């Protein structure tokens, strides 16, 4: 049995409100992502079988990331993916390095090969085709408190993300 996996930083519940407000202001831009699904993808792995999943968890058993913050100051439309996302120009170095290492590890072990480098973002809408109708009024901060290895499962009510393993960030 295989799982569709990705490494991500969840947006803490206490920081979801500004994102929900933005979705309301941008209503009609596409299919709004549920607040409980807000996250920053570090590395998408694709479909991973049980043996590869075990090896992956073994390789990353000592994954560490210091607590850090991301500032998002733009709304960006990626027309091909039909994604409207919150994006930022600056990324803490340890987060950038971790995402790169996770992406390289996936490619080296026959999992998904990312075609682009890490671009920190939180997807707000899927199925989006039009440029955002408003500039971001003010930057939005997201704290990186933990890294999660997530299972993505389709359900009749939409996609569901379940953490398979969590690594709390350290001080």
Q: Which residues bind ligand 2AM (CB under 6 A)?
A: 6, 41, 44, 83, 123, 152
User: Residue 28, exposed/middle/buried by CB under 10 A (0-12, 13-18, 19+)?
Assistant: exposed
- Please report how close the Cβ of residue 46 comes to ligand 2AM at its closest, in angstroms: 7
- Please report how close the Cβ of residue 41 comes to ligand 2AM at its closest, in angstroms: 3
User: Residue 68, exposed/middle/buried by CB under 10 A (0-12, 13-18, 19+)?
Assistant: middle
- Please report how close the Cβ of residue 171 comes to ligand 2AM at its closest, in angstroms: 27
Q: Quick one: 67 or 119, whose CB is closer to ligand 2AM? A: 119
Q: Quick one: 157 or 170, whose CB is closer to ligand 2AM? A: 157
- Please report how close the Cβ of residue 152 comes to ligand 2AM at its closest, in angstroms: 4
Q: Quick one: 95 or 171, whose CB is closer to ligand 2AM? A: 95
> CA dihedral defined by 120, 7, 108, 126, rounded to 10 degrees?
-60
* 11 alpha-carbon distance from chain centroid: 9
Q: Quick one: 24 or 80, whose CB is closer to ligand 2AM? A: 80
- What residues form DSSP beta bridges with 153? 160
Tokens 């933005």 correspond to what residue? Answer: 22
């Amino acid at each position: 049995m295989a799982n569709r996996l990705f490494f991500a930083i969840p947006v803490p519940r206490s920081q979801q409100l500004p994102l929900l407000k933005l979705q309301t202001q941008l209503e009609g831009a596409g299919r709004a992502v549920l607040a409980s699904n807000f996250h920053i993808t570090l590395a998408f792995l694709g479909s991973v079988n049980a043996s590869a999943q075990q090896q992956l968890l073994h390789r990353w058993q000592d994954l560490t990331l210091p607590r850090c913050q991301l500032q998002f100051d733009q709304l960006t439309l990626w027309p091909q993916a039909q994604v409207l996302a919150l994006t930022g120009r600056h990324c803490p170095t340890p987060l950038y390095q971790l995402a790169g290492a996770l992406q390289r590890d996936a490619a080296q072990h026959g999992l998904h090969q990312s075609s682009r480098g890490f671009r920190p973002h939180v997807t707000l809408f899927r199925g989006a085709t039009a440029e955002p109708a408003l500039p971001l009024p003010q930057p939005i901060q997201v704290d990186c408190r933990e890294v999660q290895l997530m299972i993505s499962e389709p359900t009749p009510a939409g996609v569901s993300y379940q953490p398979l393993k969590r690594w709390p960030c350290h001080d």
